[in-house]
Amino acid sequence: MPEYAWPITAAIAWIIFFLLVDWSRLKYSVWGGVIASILQILVDTAAMKLDLYHVKNLVHILGSSVFFTFGVVFTVGVLFAQSLPVSRWMQTVNILIVVALFSIEELLYLKIGVLEYTHWSHSASIFINLLVFTSFTWLVNTLQLNRCM
């Protein structure tokens, strides 16, 4: 069953999270995970209501995989907040790298068959991810979710 791709990627995300998280900064950066999960649910719910794509999953929240939202997205949100560079140029590079990684992951979900485009394209997804991670970078900076204790 290809739907098991969601819990597998969630498990991998949580393993990476436990290896990389800075526990002393978690009280601030955890909000990065919460905000990232909320943004992902909003974007995915709107896209699925517009019949842009469909997600095949085992357990869902508003159509999105619970394992994706609280696995990959939450952990990346926390780690993204903790590791956000100070330099604007490096923030741009950081955004491009994270978008590239999310794009590769999305292509794998398409290939496995747990994500299906109906009225969508991969280039549109890349554009939306650029907007989301640019906005998320602004939020992390504004709310100081990357600060040290």
The predicted pLDDT at position 109 comes to 93
The predicted pLDDT at position 61 comes to 85
Spatial separation of the C-alpha atoms in residues 110 and 88, rounded to whole Å: 33
Instruction: Give one word for 84, left, alpha or beta, with left for phi > 0 and alpha for psi -120 to 50.
Output: beta
Residue 1 confidence (pLDDT) above 90: no
* CA 3 to chain CA centroid, nearest Å: 18
pLDDT digits 0-9 by tens, 54-100 = 998 878 788 788 999 999 999 999 999 999 999 999 999 999 999 99
pLDDT digits 0-9 by tens, 94-107 = 999 999 999 999 99
Phi, psi angle pair for 86, to nearest 5° = -80, -40
pTM above 0.75, yes or no: yes
C-beta separation of 58 from 67 below 8 A: yes
Enter the tokens of residue 50.
């517009």
The predicted pLDDT at position 19 comes to 97
The predicted pLDDT at position 149 comes to 59
pLDDT digits 0-9 by tens, 8-28 = 999 999 999 999 999 999 999
pLDDT digits 0-9 by tens, 29-59 = 999 999 999 999 999 999 999 999 999 887 8
Mean pLDDT within 104-125: 95
Spatial separation of the C-alpha atoms in residues 8 and 15, rounded to whole Å: 11
The predicted pLDDT at position 57 comes to 83
The predicted pLDDT at position 146 comes to 84
